[in-house]
Copies of this chain bind each other. A is one copy, B any other.
Amino acid sequence: MNTFKYTLVKKDENSNARLGILNVFGKEVPTPIFMPVGTQASVKFLSPQEIKEVGSHIILANTYHLWLRPGEGVIDKAGGIHKFMNYDGPILTDSGGFQVFSLAKRRKILEEGVHFRSELDGSALFLSPEKSIEIQEKIGSDIAMSFDECIPYPSDYQYVKDSTERTLRWAKRGLEAHKKENQALFGIVQGGDYEDLRSYCAKELVKMNFDGYSIGGTSVGEDKVTMYRMIEYAIKDLPEDKPRYLMGVGTVNDILEGIERGVDMFDCVLPTRIARHGTLMTSQGRINIKRNIYKEDFSPLDPECDCETCRNYSRAYLNHLFRCKEGFGMRLLSIHNLRFLLRLTEQAREALSQDRFKEFKKEIYQRYPYDERGF
């Protein structure tokens, strides 16, 4: 039971896509999979039961946010994050690295770690590979991430090289610091848009023998062609028997392109964030429920969807709830968008099992015109 193991079920004949099963210490996660984000130990508005009902098998929580509030000590005393938030499925935590580089103020990167100021109260904070591991161990997630620098795009070769080498040294320090049983640790492949640096980073991480490998430094402003190239560069030197996780990616396009290139795990705040602003993902593309045309539209949000929201509520009711700024509307739309993306990965797995992933992707693209913004 107490194992962390990726089993490759089937490799696609026409692409690098793969069907697999990730055993997370006794809990099975079919891959490819999308992971809803529960930043503050809550997938916004949803109960743990609803998280499961939309088809989630694993969720993500943010180390940085939980470190600041309520503090890893509180979660540790609660008996770990599963007990704290009443969710017994697998939970992955990021390393805090991305938030340090996107949220924190007055950042100073040293070899020992990163000094910065809290965006909440301006207090002086320090995060290092060892500290990130310590926090994640106390949070008690099932899968932890190594501390890395999320490299801005574009950056020149020398900066990316130096940063990637530091990320590798940090990965090694994190690995040495990591002691917790029943918690897997992933290394993060950086290297920007440089093929040799991505390849070098991947190979060095593989030598350290992590439980899985993440692809970082994408979705930071680069165009889609570049992003997909980064994924290809990062993946080609990763072993077949370990899971690959593309961090922070969650549009329909990006998930399908990622799967095609061999990615097993995805996460993104997109479906729940846009839901809170009234935007929903449907089999006809994205729509905003606040538009006047839905005021007397008594059809479901998406006629092809099987979620609780689509089965029980009309566009007119959701339009009304959003006009009145009712929290129940945000809850219902979050349920729908998560179900939409989780159904997409379900369908992708089904297509893979039937040796028709390429056709499936083509069908999806024929229905939804390609859009840089994703849909």
Residues of A bordering B, CB below 8 Å: 40-42, 44-47, 65, 69-70, 74, 77-78, 84-86, 295-296, 298, 312-314, 316-317, 319-321, 323-324, 326-331
Are A324 and B84 in contact (CB-based, < 8 A)? no
Picked from B40, B47, B326, the residue with its CB within 8 Å of the CB of A44 is: B326
Known contacts being A296-B74, A298-B77, A331-B327, is A85 close to B45, with CB within 8 Å?
A: no
- Tell me the minimal C-beta distance from A71 to chain B in angstroms: 8
Chain B: which residue is nearest A48 at the CB level?
B312
Considering the complex, give the chain B residue whose CB is closest to the CB of A71: B295
Q: How many copies does the complex hold?
A: 2
Q: Is the CB of A45 within 8 A of B78?
A: no
Closest Cβ of chain B to A160, distance in Å, is 35
B77 touches A326 (CB 8 A): no
The residues of B that contact A42 with a CB separation of less than 8 Å are 321, 324, 326, 328-329
A-B pairs, top 10 by smallest CB distance, nearest first, are: A70-B320, A40-B324, A45-B327, A42-B328, A86-B312, A42-B326, A327-B327, A84-B317, A45-B328, A78-B298
Task: Add 4 more A-B contacts to A41-B320, A78-B317, A84-B316 (CB < 8 A).
Answer: A47-B331, A78-B316, A84-B314, A84-B317
Question: In the complex, what residues of B have CB within 8 A of residue A86's CB?
Answer: 312-313, 317
A74 touches B295 (CB 8 A): yes
Bound Cα distance A46, B69 (Å):
26
**Structural contact, B328 and A47, CB atoms closer than 8 A:** yes
A45 to chain B: which residues have CB within 8 Å?
45, 327-328, 331
Bound-state Cα–Cα, A326 to B39, Å: 10
Known contacts A40-B320, A40-B321, A312-B86; is-contact A296 B328 (Cβ 8 Å): no
CB contacts (< 8 Å) of A69 on chain B: these are: 320, 323-324
The smallest C-beta distance from A190 to any residue of chain B, in angstroms, reads 30
Distance (whole angstroms) from the CB of A323 to the closest CB of chain B: 6
Q: Please tell me if the beta carbons of A70 and B323 are within 8 angstroms of each other in the complex.
A: yes
CA distance A84 to B323 in the complex (A): 15
Q: List 23 A-B contacts (CB under 8 A).
A: A40-B321, A40-B324, A42-B321, A42-B324, A42-B326, A44-B326, A44-B327, A44-B328, A45-B45, A45-B327, A45-B328, A65-B324, A70-B316, A74-B295, A74-B296, A74-B316, A74-B320, A78-B314, A78-B316, A78-B317, A84-B316, A86-B312, A327-B331
